[in-house]
Chains A and B, each alone.
Chain A
Amino acid sequence: MAPKKAKKRSADGANSNVFSMFEQAQIQEFKEAFTIMDQNRDGFIDKNDLRDTFAALGRVNVKQEEIDEMLKEAPGPINFTVFLTMFGEKLKGADPEETILNAFKVFDPEAKGVLRKDNLTQMLTTQADRFTPEEMEQMFAAFPPDVAGNLDYKNLVHVITHGEEKDQD
């Protein structure tokens, strides 16, 4: 979930018309996701819930400012309606494999199929929605580059896309 993207959504505050944006079944699904995130089951996602979720996603030292910023974007404590407004779209949808492969190919114009580990690191940690060093570490732990320091990104994309598909069976 990219915090910065959420900005444009919730500027107008929570609005119960948000429920009409989604189908009933979708809303039920989001409700479940909300419940999973709401660790202490009090009906609100507060900074502890957010921090725990980040920590569980490998971003252990999320700065308080970052969390506060995310929470600030919401008009009040994040209840389900606000959650839906802020994050609803984020939860659904899978990026097609093609799109992601093309994104990687931007950095591999010769279409070698591999990327240098340090280049990839620099690319992902210095711009846009920067990865933290921990996130990079996590990625390389799950998808280790070879001895020469090359990462087979085609394999990475394939495993994540199709691994997920298989699990959804």
Chain B
Amino acid sequence: MMAAALGPPEVIAQLENAAKVLMAPPSMVNNEQRQHAEHIFLSFRKSKSPFAVCKHILETSKVDYVLFQAATAIMEAVVREWILLEKGSIESLRTFLLTYVLQRPNLQKYVREQILLAVAVIVKRGSLDKSIDCKSIFHEVSQLISSGNPTVQTLACSILTALLSEFSSSSKTSNIGLSMEFHGNCKRIFQEEDLRQIFMLTVEVLQEFSRRENLNAQMSSVFQRYLALANQVLSWNFLPPNLGRHYIAMFESSQNVMLKPTESWRETLLDSRVMELFFTVHRKIREDSDMAQDSLQCLAQLASLHGPIFPDEGSQVDYLAHFIEGLLNTINGIEIEDSEAVGISSIISNLITVFPRNVLTAIPNELFSSFVNCLTHLTCSFGRSAALEEVLDKDDMVYMEAYDKLLESWLTLVQDDKHFHKGFFTQHAVQVFNSYIQCHLAAPDGTRNLTANGVASREEEEISELQEDDRDQFSDQLASVGMLGRIAAEHCIPLLTSLLEERVTRLHGQLQRHQQQLLASPVSGTVDNKMLDDLYEDIHWLILVTGYLLADDTQGETPLIPPEIMEYSIKHSSEVDINTTLQILGSPGEKASSIPGYNRTDSVIRLLSAILRVSEVESRAIRADLTHLLSPQMGKDIVWFLKRWAKTYLLVDEKLYDQISLPFSTAFGADTEGSQWIIGYLLQKVISNLSVWSSEQDLASDTVQLLVTLVERRERANLVIQCENWWNLAKQFARRSPPLNFLSSPVQRTLMKALVLGGFAHMDTETKQQYWTEVLQPLQQRFLRVINQDNFQQMCQQEEVKQEITATLEALCGIAEATQIDNVAILFNFLMDFLTNCIGLMEVYKNTPETVNLIIEVFVEVAHKQICYLGESKAMNLYEACLTLLQVYSKNNLGRQRIDVTAEEEQYQDLLLIMELLTNLLSKEFIDFSDTDRHPPPRPQYCCIKCTEPLKNKI
């Protein structure tokens, strides 16, 4: 509108003024002026057929921002008015823009890029329009490239980059208001022909540059741009034919694109000169860290080549062999730069992930061995550098990233035992395993914290609770190292055993010395903890590695003993003396080497017993009042390990294995003295930890997790309840007396869960009756006694009453957590009685948000754990209880605002819990294990809608 009303000079003046406003510092113009200026540009871009005005602007205006806007206006108008425009005028517009840029080498970069973008959009829009020929652009570009003038070559590169972004139909593509199918079709056509042409042009340029001896700065910058362009082409996300609409969007958003070109690329990419060129280029520029990133990325993309481009397996083998040769020639005998580590590990990781095992094994044997040797060497060396990075506390952990990638590659490589003969990787595994251990142990056995300037100390560091535990932070590394340890079990298990046993002895000695010092001069107090901390850190890592080596962490599944471990134990069982093995296991208080015949024991059991020895030293130190010298971290590691171990090994189900090791079945099988002993031992540990370490939340939490593991399977629970300690624990917890009431509420909940699970073990009716009388009934009785007193309303805010109520609600959450398919009937009935009473409590405690939240939480847990098992009438009962709860809640909260001294986001905890409750109720719709043969169950949506009605006004 505006362009039509005003002549070109006025338009230019207006736009230039608006640009001045927009570019002015905030102090010079106010918001209104700025908005007005923005509006001028927006309506300018929407004006009808602005081509003549825009051309005029481009030719006369000196203001960069106005030039930029003119280019944008052209781009938008061309697409908008495409069908109305003469084909010839589109063609001339494109030529005008290109010539314009060519003639003005000093244009601002952002203006130039915008004009080229407009050109790219025109080419793209035209590519589906047969009547217009846009192919000539490639001819023009190749002429520009051959000019030899760096500035012109840079421009050519910019044109190609713009085309590439525009056709990639990714987030880089401009929004021109066309359908996704249009973008998809354009992309398919482009990737068959034009993209390849761009790649060829790029390759030519790179070839040219790689031949030159000396590159000046300007040429080197052109080189870099073309290398980046090559990377962009090789990272192209090739759109397969016939991909549905929904998949296109998903496909385009995928990260880490692997190179999977169409068949038409065969000649281009399988030409070994292309691959060689990229290796040559990398060798030439590897010291320039920016360019090296691109060249390594190009190689990593080439390493991921797969798909229809390979006509047969033979060609894939040839390609891979050639690639590995090139790689080895490039990295062997050089000192790897820091900036190369991640790139090189990506190349290797892609090769191992993408090429099938049969192809990998089909390359010449010698080549494959050198490849694996090189991988081993790199892994160990990156591991050492990563450890150094950690000591120096570097921000950018390149070696750590590279090490992670290589360890992951190992995991992929060794998990396949069909294509490699047994023992093929053993020696390599030993090396990687040893180097991992070495990096994590203190001198003299290891190199932990060792830098060029001596030993760095990290002991005084403040560690917040948010810091992830090593076992989680490094779980991927540990999983790989554990796997390698299994492959080389013959070496690794005895190694871990001897390292641990030696450290246990030292720890014991060290603690004794401390005790004597304390006895001699109780006041002096200052003990040097350096030695102890070193031992703790060593033991910490050894336990983590042992845990990952001996067992897998599975959620919900029954974890099996890893086959490598089983085989290893069976293989040696003929040399093993079972009695001595049991003796080693059953005497954690004695030094292993003090037991006669200790070398004829099962190595796996001996490794376990080494950790029991650590645990025993800890227990003795506690008894000797040295708790303050112990490491809670080590305590945590011990119970974490025991939980992981017990899940897999304790009372092994022999039906799950083809063959079972005799030492295992004798020591931890069903109906063995060994398993009864070990359960008693573990239970004792749990009870001791809960009282000694109640102030260490994480440790207490790992400890109750161990307890849950002991009772969650019926077979183990049967043995647990035979221990007197178990009954004592149950009684003690029911009394709510110290030290168990010091435990944090999540720990208390889990403890309750364990106690309930234990109640479903096999017992005679009388015992069972007695058990529930000890565990659940006190809860009910105490609760009813409190809420049924006449003056409960008056006393409800008294500290003891509140504590009682809170403890009961916490316990109810724990009981709900203990739900399993075979106990849901009993637990549901038990909990339902409480739920009704809880609604009454909502009324009493309506002004006490903590309590209200806890009550809702009980409902959340019950719904979460039980709804999927409930039949029609019980589900209905639960829905109704929830509905009443929400009605009471909304009655009490309607129109209420809360102003608190410490109002924070926790204020909305109640609403979050209610949403969680509704989500849990709805989950019945898709997870339902109840017996629903007869009637369809009540529709949870309906109930949820009913439930939310009272809330509508609240939110």
Q: Do A and B come from one complex?
A: no
- Could you tell me which A residues sit within 8 Å of B by CB distance? none
